[in-house]
Amino acid sequence: MAIESFNPYTGRVVRRFRAFSWTKTERILAQAAREALTWRTTTFAHRAERMHRAATLLRERQDELARLMAIEMGKPVADGRAEVEKCALTCDYYADHAEEFMRDELIETQAQRSFISHEPLGVVLAVMPWNFPFWQVVRFAAPALMAGNVGLLKHASNVPQCALALEAIFHDAGFPPATFRTLLIGSDLVEKLITDDRLKAVTLTGSELAGSKVAATAGAHIKKTVLELGGSDAFIVLADADLELAAKTAAQARMINAGQSCIAAKRFIVEKPVVKEFINQLKTHLLAFRTGDPLDEATQYGPLARPDLADELTEQVEDSVRQGAKVELYGGQSESGNALFRPMILSRVKPGQRAYHEELFGPVALILEARDADDAIRLANDSPFGLGGAIWTCDVKRGEALARRVEAGAVFVNSMVKSSPEMPFGGVKKSGYGRELSHLGIREFVNQKSIWIGGGTPLKDGTKTE
Hey, which residues are catalytic here?
Answer: 228, 262
Q: Which of 138, 141, 101, 107 is nearest to 124 (CA)?
A: 141
Separation of CA 160 from chain center = 18
Judge contact between 10 and 73, C-beta under 8 A: no
Hey, what amino acid is at 310?
Answer: A
Q: Which of 317, 300, 303, 409 is nearest to 358 (CA)?
A: 317
CA 4 – CA 444 distance, rounded (Å): 32
Hey, what amino acid is at 108?
Answer: E
In the beta sheet, which residues pair with residue 12?
7
Q: What is the DSSP letter of 19?
A: P
Q: Quick one: CA torsion of 40, 44, 45, 49, rounded to 10 degrees?
A: 80
Beta strands at 180-182 and 113-120: parallel, antiparallel or unpaired: unpaired
In the beta sheet, which residues pair with residue 425?
436
The radius of gyration of the chain's CA atoms, rounded to the nearest angstrom, is: 24
DSSP letter string over 324-369?
Answer: T-EEEE--B-SSTT----B-EEEES--TTSHHHHS---SSEEEEEE
Judge contact between 388 and 408, C-beta under 8 A: yes
Residue 334: how many other CB atoms lie within 10 Å? 11
CA angle, residues 358, 305, 152, in degrees to nearest 5: 90
Contacts of 244 (CB under 8 A, 6+ apart): 281
DSSP letter string over 377-407?
Answer: HHHHHSSSEESEEEEE-S-HHHHHHHHTTS-
